[in-house]
Amino acid sequence: MKMVIRVTVSLICSVFGALTISVTTYNAQRRPGWVEGVCRHHVELIWLLSVPLLLGLTYATVAKRAFRRHIGTVLLGVYGTYGVVHAVQTHIWWVWVLSFCALTAAIGMIARKAWAQPLVWVLALAYTGAWVYGIYLAAAAGYFQKSPLGVGVLSLFPGTVFLLMAGYCCYAVSQRDA
C-alpha cells in the first residue's frame, strides 16, 4: 500500500510539475530564442522529458524516510512565505495568522517539538475548510454550470494538489522515526 501511495503522489507531482513547466514555457514563447524553437512546436517533448524526470526525483524523495520531515518543513515554509507576501498585498488579517502559523509550524516541525503536530493538523483542517467553502461559493455563483467540464475539473486541480501536500505534512509531522 505504501508503494501505491508513493507512486500516486509522485505521479501527481510530476504531472503538476510538467504542467507548470509547459505553461511557463508557453508564456516564454513571446521571446525569440531556443525556448521558442523547442517549446512552440514540441509540447509533447516537454512532457516526455519532464514527467519521467520529475517522477523519478519525486519518488526518490518521497521514498526516503529521512527526508519526510524536511520536505514537510519546506512545504510549510514556502506556504507561510507565500502567505505573508499575499497578506501584504491584500491586507487580509486571517491570511497573516495562517501564514505565521505555517512558519511557526515549520520551525516546530524541524525542531521536532511536540506542539508542531497539532498545529500542522489545525492548519490542514483550516485549509480544507477554506477550500471547501471556496468550492461552495463558486458553485453557488454558478461557476461550474457556466464553465465546460474540463475547465471545472482543472480549476479544482491546484487545490487538490495543495490538499495532498497538507496531508503529506500531517503524515510527516506524525512520524516518530522521521
Domain end position, chosen among 11, 44, 63 = 63
Would you say residue 26 has pLDDT above 90? no
> For residue 35, what pLDDT band results from cuts at 50, 70 and 90?
very low
Alpha-carbon span 10 to 14, nearest angstrom: 6
Same structural domain, 132 and 113: yes
In terms of pLDDT, which residue wins out, 30 or 22? Answer: 22
Q: Quote the domain boundaries for residue 100.
A: 65-178
Are 44 and 71 members of one domain? Answer: no
User: Residue 32 above 80 pLDDT?
Assistant: no
pLDDT bucket at 22, cuts 50 / 70 / 90: low
Report pLDDT digits (tens) over 88-100. 888 888 889 999 9
Radius of gyration of the chain (CA): 18
Final residue of a structural domain among 48, 63, 78: 63
CA-based nearest residue to 106, from 85, 81, 126? 81
Between the CA of residue 99 and those of 12, 68, 85, 178, what are the distances in Å? 25, 21, 9, 24
pTM: 0.66
Can you tell me the mean pLDDT for 63-92? 83
Of 6-10, 116-120, 154-158, least confident by mean pLDDT is 6-10
Position 30 pLDDT exceeds 60? no
Local confidence band at 38 (pLDDT 50, 70, 90 cut-offs): very low
Q: What's the confidence (pLDDT) of residue 85?
A: 86
- Number of domains observed in the structure of the chain: 2
**What are the pLDDT digits (tens) for 161-174?**
788 888 888 888 88
Q: Residue 155 and residue 150: Cα distance in Å, rounded?
A: 9
* 38-52, 60-74, 123-137: range with highest mean pLDDT: 123-137
Do 66 and 178 meet the contact criterion of CB atoms below 8 Å apart? yes
Q: Domain boundary at 34, 63, 92, which?
A: 63
